[in-house]
Each structure stands twice: as structure tokens, then as C-alpha cells.
Structure 1
Amino acid sequence: MAPRQARVDVSSKAGTGLSALEPIDKSPFRLAANPGFIWLTVSLVWLFSLLPWRMWQPAPDLLLLVIAYWCLNEPGRVGMVVAFCFGLLMDVHDGSLLGVQALTYTLAAYGTLLLSRRLQRFNSVVQCIHMLPVFVVAKSASRLIEGWLAGEWLGWSWLWSAILMALLWPLADVLLQMPQRRHEEGDGGAV
């Protein structure tokens, strides 16, 4: 009797195997983003980043967040060259050492492109966990260079910026993908 009961337990567990797994991201498929919308969002966030609130060190770098987001979702349109160019524009605006922001933006774009195949399998909450080290490494490289040139450590307040950028990743996903979401059949939208 014991062997027969063992078979029943195994067969009842068969429904919980690999065939019963659900996809990680249940959101509807995404359409390709309109290039005009991509450049509009990057340009608007760049203009918003020119305001003085960004000089507060713990403030998240929204331009870096949007560029990293588009590097993940539209790597053919936004990549490391775009990140470098906008980094140079931010260096010129800030009047800081030329190339420091460009290095930060390029490292973040490179890290995003490096992890892109893995990141596309997950939803935005899991993506933000993966993006936290990318933002920390990108920000720390520029802070180390600035600290070395200044001759002193400039503190850890920059770490809050990287953490806030990672926490804002799901919000960026919702806002930047809103126009591209497909209408479901029960939506009442045009088919």
C-alpha cells in the first residue's frame, strides 16, 4: 500500500511542475515606441534637468533614468552615443569637469545594454532591483574622479540619487510605455 500511495503523491505534484509556471511579466505586449515620442521625452526631461533642483546631491538624475530606460527598450534609437552626448550637454550646463557626466551616462547606458537580455524577461519591479547596481557603479565612477581631483572624499549623499533612480524605474516604465500599451479586446477601443 505504501508504494501505491507514493505514486499518488507524485502524480498530484505533476501539476505544479514547469508546465504550471506563469510568465513573469503578465503585462500585454508592447508596441515599438514612436521615435518622435522617444526624442520628445528625452528632450523634455533634459530641459527639466536644467532647473536648479538637480544641484541638490540626493536628487535623482531623471535624464539618466530616461536614457537608461530607452537604452533598454529601444536600443536601436537610444544608446551609448546618445548617453555620451547628453552627458556632455549636462557637463557644459553644470560648468563642472568636462566628461564626468558623460562618463556617468555612458557607463549607465553600457550597463543597461549589457543586462538588456536579462532585464527584458522581468517586470519593472524586478528590473529596478537589477538597475540599482548599474546606477551605483555609474555614479560612483564620477564621484571617485571628482573626489580624486578635489583631494578629498565628497561624501555619500550621491548614493541616495542612485537609490531614488532605481525606485523611480517602475514609475518610468508606466509613464513612458503608456502610449505604447496595446488595447485589450474588452477595452472598447478600435480593433
Structure 2
Amino acid sequence: MIMRPGQQLLLPANPLFIWSSLLVALVLNVLPLGRVAWMPDLLALTLVFWAVHQPLRIGVGAAFLFGIVMDVQQASLLGQHALAYTALSFGAIAIHRRLLWFTVPSQAVQVLPLFAAAHAIELVVRLVAGGAFPGVSFLLAPVIEALLWPVVSVLLLAPQRRAPDPDENRPL
């Protein structure tokens, strides 16, 4: 893959770090923080990040399993989060090559429709099953997730930015 000028060469991602970051996001999602409609879905954000940066390691299957875990934990309709996460992961994998050519703020703008679609899928499934509309503040969650994209990018790419053995002959 041809890199943009000035783009830093990254080390390979450690699979243990990828899965531990997903588990930390899952734990943060299941914490009893008084779940409100505008609260961002950190697991969905982390799934999209790894589906964009490591599509061969984190795919639709992992998104489905994490979705089932979220459905069971929140006692929601079984498959509600699983459907949203799989659609989100599929969309992220579909655009991952194009998305990586943009700067991180531009990436945040481009993943916003993915997050909005995932929340819309959850809302439609909830409403079809007879649930109540959570209110207009529900529309803030995808925007907050898109605003968190640069923060997540810096945090999750930090271990890959270290130089393995830099010296004056090997500046990479």
C-alpha cells in the first residue's frame, strides 16, 4: 500500500492488545453508569476502529459475538445489538481502504454515518418489538462517538508508534 507523505510507519498490531482493548470497551459498556440515550457505545467505537485498522483480525463474526454479549447483559431483544454491530462492522470493513487515506478528523466525519446507521438499526428493532422511543437525545450518541474517534485513534495506535530499536542508521 502506498503511504501518504509524512505518514508514520506503524508496527504490527499485537493481537493480545486488540482483544484486550475490546474487552475493556465491553467492560466500560456494561458498567452501571445510569445508561442514558445519548451515552456513546464504546464497544461499537472500538469494533469500528479495529475493523478499519485490522479487518482480517476483527470482523463481522467478532462483532456478532460482542453484540450477543451486549444483548444478554442489557436484557434487550436478543439480536438487537448483534445486528447493529454486524452491520457496523461490515460497513467499516467495506470502507476501510478508502478511510485510511484521510486524516483522522476527516475519518471521524466519514464514520459518523456508520454510527448513525447502527443506532438507527437498534432503534428500529426496539420500536418494532414494542419499545418506547428514547427521545431526541438519542441522536447525540453517534455524534459523540464520531467526536471520540480521534481520541480512540491516538490511544489505540500508540503501542504501534514506538520505534523497535531506533538509532542513527535506522530512523524508523
Q: Taking structure 1 as the reference length, what is the TM-score of the superposition?
A: 0.80
Establish whether residue 35 from structure 1 lines up as the match of residue 8 from structure 2.
no
Report the structure number with the largest CA radius of gyration.
Answer: 1
Following TM superposition, by how much is the alpha carbon of 1:125 offset from its aligned partner in structure 2, in angstroms? 0.8
How far does the alpha carbon of each residue in 1:6-38 deviate from its partner, in whole angstroms, 9 at most, with x for none? xxxxxxxxxxxxxxxxx8673312222000110
Following TM superposition, by how much is the alpha carbon of 1:70 offset from its aligned partner in structure 2, in angstroms? 0.3
Return the match for 1:130 from 110, 114, 119: 110
**Letter in structure 2 aligned against 1:37:** F
How far does the alpha carbon of each residue in 1:47-92 deviate from its partner, in whole angstroms, 9 at most, with x for none? 1211022621101000110011000001111011000100000000
Q: Determine the C-alpha separation between the residues in 2 that align with 1:79 and 1:89.
A: 16
**Letter in structure 2 aligned against 1:106:** T
| 8 Å Cα contact 1:108/1:135 also seen in 2 | yes
Establish whether residue 44 from structure 1 lines up as the match of residue 24 from structure 2.
yes
| 8 Å Cα contact 1:147/1:154 also seen in 2 | no
Following TM superposition, by how much is the alpha carbon of 1:186 offset from its aligned partner in structure 2, in angstroms? 8.1
Partner of 1:67: 47
Establish whether residue 172 from structure 1 lines up as the match of residue 140 from structure 2.
no
How far does the alpha carbon of each residue in 1:153-180 deviate from its partner, in whole angstroms, 9 at most, with x for none? 4433222111110110010000000010
Aligned residues: 168
Q: Structure 1 residues 92, 25: closer, same or farther in 2, change over 3 A?
A: farther
Return the match for 1:144 from 124, 143, 147: 124
Partner of 1:19: none
**Letter in structure 2 aligned against 1:97:** L
Identity of aligned residues (%): 35
Partner of 2:89: 109
Following TM superposition, by how much is the alpha carbon of 1:104 offset from its aligned partner in structure 2, in angstroms? 1.1
| 8 Å Cα contact 1:88/1:98 also seen in 2 | yes
Q: Determine the C-alpha separation between the residues in 2 that align with 1:172 and 1:125.
A: 12
Q: Determine the C-alpha separation between the residues in 2 that align with 1:102 and 1:132.
A: 19
Q: Determine the C-alpha separation between the residues in 1 that align with 2:40 and 2:132.
A: 23
Q: Which runs of 5+ in 2 are unaligned?
A: none
Following TM superposition, by how much is the alpha carbon of 1:114 offset from its aligned partner in structure 2, in angstroms? 1.1
4+ residue stretches of structure 1 with deviation over 6 A?
none
| 8 Å Cα contact 2:37/2:134 also seen in 1 | no
Q: CA-atom RMSD, angstroms?
A: 2.4
SS at match of 1:29: coil
Establish whether residue 156 from structure 1 lines up as the match of residue 136 from structure 2.
yes
SS at match of 2:142: helix
Partner of 1:94: 74
Q: Which runs of 5+ in 1 are unaligned?
A: 1-22
Q: Structure 1 residues 117, 159: closer, same or farther in 2, change over 3 A?
A: same
